[in-house]
Amino acid sequence: MPIVKHLNMKLVDRFLQYVKFDTQSDELTNMTPSTPGQMIFARHLRDELEALGLKDISLDENGYLMATLPGNIEGRDVPVVGFIAHLDTSPDMSGRHVSPRIVENYDGGDVVLNDATGVVLSPTDFPELKHYVGQNLIVTDGNTLLGADDKAGIAEIITAVEYLKNHPEIKHGKVRIAFNPDEEIGRGAHKFDVACFGADFAYTMDGGEVGELEYENFNAAVARVTFKGRNVHPGYAKHKMVNSMRIANQFVIMLPRWETPEHTEGYEGFYHLVGMEGSVENTVLTYIIRDHDRDRFERRKKELEHLVRKINNEFPGCCSIEINDQYYNMREKIEPVMYIIDIARVAMEKAGVTPKVQPIRGGTDGAQLSFKGLPCPNIFAGGLNFHGRYEFVPIPSMEKAMQTIVEICRLVGEK
């Protein structure tokens, strides 16, 4: 499917506009959306969808935006396919005052993101850059994340829908699109109204580099381990003081050192210490627990509980733990409808992309949506090095993602 230069420019212009919205989520607010910037962005997108002439546009009080591109096939039933992306960016790094720039015809060398602070995007540290020599890349200024996760996905969906609307010769069924808040803090699907969305199946445009097609993800939980201490003047503390920070450190080193994100890949799970806040009297460790295999996932949770008991044997009543599951591996929900993976695979090939079927070493709204009755695998959006200052997205990868959406709609219409 040829993509005209005019549409490519729209895709890039949309993305460059979208990343200027500050939409970091915040798990501490206990609101939906968790930050006001997400609703501001959702209203902007709603206005844009109205200007494009889409139908059934709705934006609820929780920041869930949905719309319809009507089908143009008469005389037979066609499945309703959906495409979903999330409004928020990661709280791991600032998304305020994002200042993107385009590196034209990347030469394979170092890219200086910020000369003043010495931030360099280098193939020495990120060898995947070598895959994009000769392409135009969108990068950060080294002070913020970029926001390709998932504003690239939003730009790709809207541009694909616009393309379909302007090319009625491409026959397709009803297409539903949705943009939701708070994916980055694990709540993106919590208030997603699957019945209102009304799709037979959907795809999240939330993957990484070009070609990714994913229907397996981690089982996920978050654990908060609390240590209670007793503070006494350090000059008179012998046999009296109980330093909660020291005990917390003892707990940390009791976990296997090789089962961490920096030492695992593929289907290997991990314990990841993501937060540590403490004083002599009170320390809290926050872990995320991940594993593709459900049995191993459950054993990981039990191992944390076992270590808490060991700590309490030495320091009675010192330690407590709270574990909450976040999402589960969608594979069991996708396997009965594997034809939707076949459709995506063929669509990528028609768009000139080699599919890379692989497990997600993370999560996606599609996992929770699949368990809510909407089968929803994940497709690449094109970005790399998410959640940090070294994030970048090759423009051709975004174009291929947009083409893949169009081809999926065409294939569903044909079949």
pLDDT tens, position by position, 246-262: 999 999 999 999 999 99
Exposure string over 40-79, b if 16+ CB within 10 A, otherwise e = ebbeebbebbeeeebeebebeebbbbbbbbebbeeeeebe
Angle at 44 between CA 68 and CA 184, to 5 degrees: 85
Q: Assign 6 a pLDDT band (cuts: 50, 70, 90).
A: low
Q: What is the pTM of this model?
A: 0.86
Whether the CB-CB separation of 413 and 78 falls below 8 Å is answered with yes
pLDDT higher than 70, residue 7: no
- Reply yes or no on whether the pLDDT at 304 is more than 90: yes
Confidence of residue 27 (pLDDT cuts 50, 70, 90): confident
* Active site amino acids: 88, 183
- The H or E element that residue 287 is part of is strand 282-291
Q: Contact, 106 vs 133, CB < 8 A? A: yes
Cα separation of 205 and 309, whole Å? 42
Q: Which residue has the tokens 């309490």?
A: 312
pLDDT of 365: 87
The token pair at 218 is 């981690």
Q: Which domains does the chain have, with CATH numbers?
A: 5-216+329-414 (3.40.630.10), 219-327 (3.30.70.360)
Whole-number pLDDT of residue 360 = 86
Task: Report how far apart, in Å, the C-alpha atoms of 24 and of each of 152, 166, 247 are.
Answer: 15, 33, 33
- Per-residue pLDDT averaged across 212-231, rounded? 95
pLDDT higher than threshold 90 for residue 309:
yes
The answer to whether 241 touches 232, Cβ cutoff 8 Å, is yes
Q: Could you tell me where the DSSP H helices lie in 351-394?
A: 365-371
141-151 pLDDT, tens digit per residue, is 999 999 999 99
> Does position 3 have pLDDT exceeding 80, yes or no?
no
**Is residue 53 pLDDT above 60, yes or no?**
yes
Q: How high does pLDDT run on average in the chain?
A: 95
Going by their DSSP bridges, the two strands 81-86 and 201-207 should be labelled as parallel
Residue 284: pLDDT band (50, 70, 90) is: very high
